[in-house]
Amino acid sequence: MDTPNKKDTQRGNKTVSAKSSAAADLRELFIDELKDIIYAERALVKALPKMANNASDPNLKAAIGEHVAVTEGQVDRLVQVFELLGESDRGKKCDAMEGLIMEGENILEETKPGPVRDAAIISASQKIEHYEIASYGTLVAFASLLGEDEVSELLKITLDEEKYADVKLTEAAYGSINLEALEEGEE
Ligand SMILES: [Fe+2]
Ligand SMILES: [Fe+2]
């Protein structure tokens, strides 16, 4: 019988039935998540230059600018992944990345150019990088589980690039920006 057990009902848990289009197996889930990340990367190619243009610190500007080029390469790598898997590279709207990008745009409206805005740009960018690190970490594991070793290798390259970008942002933050942001607040 389908009735949820008493404990689940008490806790307000609900059993969710899948949509007919839902992933039936791990490979389908893997493809679905790849479609999510290619959408996210394409959205970032458009959104990151605005972040770079609005940064004041030259190191931060350069780090984000450099990551735009890297992100373009990541889109190409994903297209290659879809080719290897014999699937279309059409993306699927990634709500999480849309939200993270929107947050980044909001902080630009709420801050004036300078160290505080730079600190906010670093914060928004690191949230984006951490989302990507989590996504690619999962994708590398799924590819390995599915025996797609070539795909796994390609995704691992991107995972390392995202980790590197995160380190660069941290360096920019601890280099001078956060300290200057603090001083600006005390003026
Ligand atoms: Fe990326
Ligand atoms: Fe990234």
Whose atoms come closest to the Cα of 42: which ligand? 1
- Domain contains 18: no
Amino acid letter, residue 37: I
Note the pLDDT of residue 139: 98
Q: Check which CATH number belongs to the domain holding 69 and give it.
A: 1.20.1260.10
CA 71 to ligand 2 center in whole angstroms: 6
Note the pLDDT of residue 1: 46
CA 184 to ligand 1 center in whole angstroms: 32
Domain extent for 149: 25-186
Split into its structural domains, the chain has a count of 1
Mean pLDDT by 10 residues, the chain (187 residues): 51 72 80 97 97 94 95 98 97 96 94 94 96 98 95 98 95 79 72
Whose atoms come closest to the Cα of 129: which ligand? 2
* Helix residue spans in the chain (DSSP H): 6-10, 26-54, 58-85, 95-110, 115-145, 149-172, 178-186
Whose atoms come closest to the Cα of 37: which ligand? 1
Is 50 exposed, middle or buried, given 0-12, 13-18 or 19+ CB atoms closer than 10 A? middle
| C-alpha to C-alpha distance for 48 and 108, rounded to whole angstroms | 12
| C-alpha to C-alpha distance for 118 and 127, rounded to whole angstroms | 14
